[in-house]
Amino acid sequence: MKFVIKHESKGRMRIHVVQNRMSYEEADTLLYYLHNQKQVTFAKVYDRTADAVIQYIGERQQIIDLLRRFHYSDVEVPVGLIENSGRALNDEYQERLLAKVIFHYARKWLLPYPIRLGLTTVEAIRYGYEGLKCLANRKIEVPVLDATAIGVSMLQGDIDTAGSIMFMLGIGELLEDWTHKKSVDDLARTMSLNISKVWLLQNEQQVLVEASKIQKGDRIVVHMGNVIPFDGIVVDGEAMVNQASLTGESEPVRKAKEHYAYAGTVVEEGELTIQVKTVGGSSRFEKIVTMIEESEKLKSGVESKAEHLADRLVPYSLGATALTYLLTRNITKATSILMVDFSCALKLAMPISVLSAIREASLYNLTVKGGKYLEAIADADTIVFDKTGTLTKAKPTVVDVVSFNGQSKEELLRIAACLEEHFPHSMAKAVVQAAVEQGIEHEEMHSKVDYIVAHGIASSINEKRVVIGSAHFVFDDEHIVIPEGKQELYDTLPLEYSHLYLAIDGVLAAVICIEDPLREEASAVVNSMKKAGLSKVVMMTGDSERTAAAIAKRVGVDEYYSEVLPEDKANFVEKERAAGRKVIMIGDGINDSPALSAADVGIAISDGAEIAREIADITVGSDDLYQIVTLKLLSDSLMKRIHKNYRVIVGFNTMLIVLGVAGIIQPTTSALLHNTSTIVIGVKSMENLLT
């Protein structure tokens, strides 16, 4: 690629791409390429000027070299990223905003009075119609106030004031619509699928392949706890599927042969074989956008209260206008009240603040699925942490395989990996990764796998039942016995590690020792959350009492619970909520999903199970618990901004009404100051909350 360096400073470079015109697709391709370079910390591409700003770490020459290597055709961009990037949306609204400003002032300065009168009258009729429609529905809300203010100005022959009111209302509507659509699109993109590999059924064998290799008509297998990656028809199997991300339904839906399965839904129980119908990503994106638009997910409680308050204030504004006229017989003073309404600023600033906070959260790799969840974080007084993969590192490692049946460690690890590779849990991933690192191939050699949530996996190999999982599952549920003469070996297993138990045909075959180290930042994060106002910090784990007690002491939680099942976690959350507490639940596994759903706000760690990420209200996208602290700071800052906006809006507009009634300022000035303050507050509400 040919480019020119237009400006640079230490760690920052502005370049110009030498080409005639940069398309949206080319701009997004370059941006994707830059974002995926480890030296690049920030990048922005301007398609209109074919410029790009790059912030980087390391040597300047490295950036120059990676730019020289860049070619549009060489970059493989994920499906749906370019189509739904939002670049075209931004350009459309920028052009509409500019056109609106130019048209307003050109009409005001260049057109003769009769034509201006006609255009203003036509536009005023629309607002009058909206006001009458509102009255016909027996409501006295903002459209009535807008129509009255415009109508009074028109009757006074003051078309400039009427035109200015409609212009400012139009600008406000355009800004709100733009911010809302952009935020919805940003949110939809973060909720869109990011699945790299799927199980393809070939000659009745399951083969793990790249998702990009899947074609229409292929048959794929989706196991319990996984996201369905493509739309298609179920050709085999039966499962309960969670469709909340698309339909908002809280209860899972049964899917069986000949039923249609939707991309992005999650298999909660069972297993499905699906014949793929569509492989594009745009349909999933459009479904999510529609779902968000039709739901109340984006609205926080404070935001809804502000909108209702704005509507409730309208009758008082109209009443004050009538009373002022009756007392003063001065139409100018009475009109001053109509020129100022609280609703414009309240209805613009509140949603913009919330949507802007959601956008800002994405800068910190936090996916927030609605404003009400940020409010819930700010109000929460209880936080519950799962241990494995949350307080401990998301990538545990296999330290040893202890054989109990005479088979080699390699063979036992091969059997374990063959079973575990089907399930999205950090312990399972550790086993599979250990097999990969040792070069152990583990082709399918078992029959259908059954997954018992929070316990383990059962299957059969050569007509022998094979199970792998926790001690409770293996010894209490499956009644596995320790081979004769191996009790001492069992008793001397290293206690500093977590254990996975593998049994074949009713006899313990191996114990896999897994190191599950505590995150370095876990203690500091727990302490920070207490300082931020959380009065109760709880840890829950399926581990033994001894392991749980040791971790709890090191982390500094207020309470801990050991050997818990999924329903225990959910029951605890529901009990706390019933006691009037606001609860945050943080987890990463399939077994955390019920508790994530039950909490006021569920937070999933991104490396965890797909079902946990899908059900959760917020997803932490980086392997760093400090993001939880960032989320709390962001939520608290949002609430402070909303309350500050409320005080400023009410205070400033009340002052304008008083000045207007006192005759100190004219209605036109009131309208100008009111609408200007509305836009200023809206723009300020789009600024980042954290520095």
Task: Tell me the percentage of the chain whose pLDDT exceeds 90.
Answer: 37
Q: What is the pLDDT of residues 28-75, one digit of tens each?
A: 999 999 988 989 988 999 999 999 999 999 899 999 999 999 999 999
The pLDDT, as a whole number, for residue 180 is 66
Q: What is the pLDDT of residues 538-568, one digit of tens each?
A: 999 877 787 788 889 999 999 999 888 778 8
Q: Which two tokens stand for residue 258?
A: 């000949």
Whether 304 is in a domain gets the answer yes
Mean pLDDT value across residues 412-429: 82
CATH number for the domain harbouring residue 272: 2.70.150.10
Residues 476 and 549 in one domain: no
Q: What is the pLDDT of residues 73-108, one digit of tens each?
A: 999 887 667 777 778 888 888 899 899 999 999 998
Residues 441 and 490 in one domain: yes
Q: What is the pLDDT of residues 142-173, one digit of tens each?
A: 888 889 888 988 988 888 888 888 887 787 77
Q: How confident is the model at residue 419 (pLDDT cuts 50, 70, 90)?
A: confident
Residues 39 and 104 in one domain: no
Residues 154 and 214 in one domain: no
Residues 456 and 485 in one domain: yes
Q: What is the DSSP letter of 467?
A: E
Residues 412 and 270 in one domain: no
Whether 111 is in a domain gets the answer yes
The pLDDT, as a whole number, for residue 294 is 52
Q: HSE (CB half, 13 Å, CA atoms) of 608?
A: 31
Residues 529 and 604 in one domain: yes
Residue that terminates a domain, selected from 251, 280, 309: 280
Amino acid making up residue 546: R
**293-299 long-range contacts, CB within 8 A, separation 24+:** 293/184, 295/248, 296/372, 297/369, 297/370, 297/372, 298/180, 298/183, 298/184, 298/187, 298/351, 298/354, 298/355, 298/358, 298/370, 298/371, 299/351, 299/354, 299/370, 299/371, 299/372
Residues 183 and 202 in one domain: no
pLDDT over threshold 90, residue 219: yes
pLDDT, averaged across the chain: 84
Residues 430 and 465 in one domain: yes
Whether 261 is in a domain gets the answer yes
Residues 401 and 509 in one domain: yes
Q: What is the pLDDT of residues 337-363, one digit of tens each?
A: 877 777 667 777 777 788 788 878 877
Whether 669 is in a domain gets the answer yes
Whether 36 is in a domain gets the answer yes
pLDDT over threshold 60, residue 282: no
Q: What is the pLDDT of residues 173-184, one digit of tens each?
A: 787 677 667 766
Q: How far is CA 567 from CA 409, 549, 595, in A?
A: 35, 21, 8
Whether 132 is in a domain gets the answer yes
Please state, in angstroms and rounded to a whole number, the distance separating the CA atoms of residues 230 and 316.
Answer: 54
Whether 637 is in a domain gets the answer no
Residue that terminates a domain, selected from 515, 531, 554: 515
Residues 407 and 506 in one domain: yes
CATH number for the domain harbouring residue 50: 3.30.1360.10
Q: Which domain holds residue 450?
A: 397-515
Q: What is the pLDDT of residues 288-319, one digit of tens each?
A: 566 555 544 555 566 666 666 767 778 888 88
Residue 505 CB-density burial (10 A; 0-12 exposed, 13-18 middle, 19+ buried):
middle
Name residues whose C-beta falls within 8 Å of residue 439's C-beta, 6 or more positions apart in sequence.
Answer: none
Please state the pTM of the whole predicted model. 0.69
Domain count, the chain: 5
Whether 359 is in a domain gets the answer no
CATH number for the domain harbouring residue 616: 3.40.50.1000
Residues 173 and 139 in one domain: yes
Q: What are phi and psi of 74, to 5 degrees?
A: -85, -15
